[in-house]
Amino acid sequence: MEESNTNYLVLAIYILGQLLGIIIAIIYGLSNPGIVDDLAAKTMATSIITLITYIAVTTAFIYYLKTYLVFQFQNFKKELLLHIIFAFSAFMALILASYLANVIMTYLDKTDIGANQAALEEMANGTTTLKVILVLITLIGAPFIEELTFRKGLFGVMDKLPVVVPIIASGLLFGLIHVIGDDIANIIPYALAGVALSIVYVLSNKNIWVVIFGHAAFNFVGLLPLFIDLT
């Protein structure tokens, strides 16, 4: 499959995965109208639907991109130390983006957590099943799917444009998917994170595993306060 077609396929698979999740949620909601008033049941249903869509998209990505993924991983291992440094740089860039976002959000007097963060906390405070789903989605699903979509796919279809365009576009779209139905101001931390990952992706000669590992590491650190009582 030609590279340009592959990039469009990546975006199409991601969009279809999102549509699949919406369709399942609508069908389930119509079949269980009382779930709206049951927060625990709603959280469980939403988490399971999300996990199903992540599994579907991940499976499709592995099937259609196996040659690309293997080649990129071999390249990662070939210059292992350099790529580990880049992955750590991605992690540190996300830390910096998070700090800048906190400064901006404080300046804008936006101190309430967003809907996405609230959902994560609800899962972390839920049953063991919810905690397992949270870990699978946050540490495996999200880094793998989002980096392939917003770095590999989006950068690929914008390959002819100046590099600053896909960097900004991927940051904005990465932010947008995390704040749909939420206060648009909450796009700031996610957009800055997307830009940070995009910059490291370009600097690493577009090795996808660099940003996947860096993204996963950042999410891991972000999960710790949700599971561990630090007080």
CA dihedral 170, 174, 175, 179 (to 10 degrees): 150
Burial class (CB in 10 A: 0-12, 13-18, 19+), 24: middle
pTM higher than 0.85: yes
Query: Which residues lie below 8 Å from residue 91, measured CB to CB, with a gap of 6+?
Result: 214, 217, 218, 221
Separation CA 222–CA 212 (nearest Å): 15
Spatial contact of 35 and 42, defined as CB atoms under 8 Å apart = yes
Q: Cα–Cα distances in Å, from 184 out to 24, 98, 110, 172?
A: 26, 17, 11, 11
Spatial contact of 219 and 142, defined as CB atoms under 8 Å apart = yes
Spatial contact of 10 and 156, defined as CB atoms under 8 Å apart = yes
Separation CA 10–CA 16 (nearest Å): 10
pLDDT one digit per residue (tens) for the chain, 231 residues: 567 789 999 999 999 999 999 999 899 888 887 776 777 888 899 999 999 999 999 999 999 999 999 999 999 999 999 999 999 999 999 999 999 999 999 888 877 777 777 888 888 888 889 999 999 999 999 999 999 999 999 999 998 899 999 999 999 999 888 887 677 888 999 999 999 999 999 999 999 999 999 999 999 998 887 777 544
